[in-house]
Amino acid sequence: MIVWVPIVIFMYASGDNAMATWLMIYSVVVTGNIDYIARITLLKRMGDVHPVITVMGVIVGLGLFGFIGLIFGPLLVSYIILLFNVYVNEFIDSSEPVATVDTGVSEEK
């Protein structure tokens, strides 16, 4: 968007309305979808990140950080999920022994 939005504005300002409209439609439909699909595909293959996490991260990141949130949003959501998984694996273990009461009597053999 950083490239084609100023070009479309310039084309509208210079009076080339038909080409500006076609460039805007092409950029929104084709370029926008390719960027969206490529981001999800690359994150899934390279980082094993689920597409829902990517979409949620982008939405949350844009709200929190603005434009730079496109990068930091999915990272933030992935790190929160990773920290939750570490917590569950380290501190919530169903195989922990039941606490015993120490009676003070030692058993010697």
Q: What is the DSSP string of 9-50?
A: HHHHHHT-HHHHHHHHHHIIIIIHHHHHHHHHHHHHHHH---
For residues 88 and 56, membership in a common domain is answered with yes
For residues 81 and 43, membership in a common domain is answered with no
Can you read off the two tokens belonging to residue 34? 């390719």
For residues 76 and 55, membership in a common domain is answered with yes
| Residue 19's pLDDT band (cuts 50, 70, 90) | very high
For residues 72 and 85, membership in a common domain is answered with yes
On the question of pLDDT at 11 being above 50, the answer is yes
The pLDDT tens digits for 37-94 are 877 777 777 777 777 888 888 888 888 888 888 888 888 888 888 888 888 888 876 6
Alpha-carbon distance 10 to 33, whole Å? 23
Q: Is residue 81 part of a domain?
A: yes
Which pLDDT score, from 0 to 100, does residue 96 have? 58
pTM of the entire predicted model:
0.47
Residue-range definition of the domain harbouring residue 2: 1-48
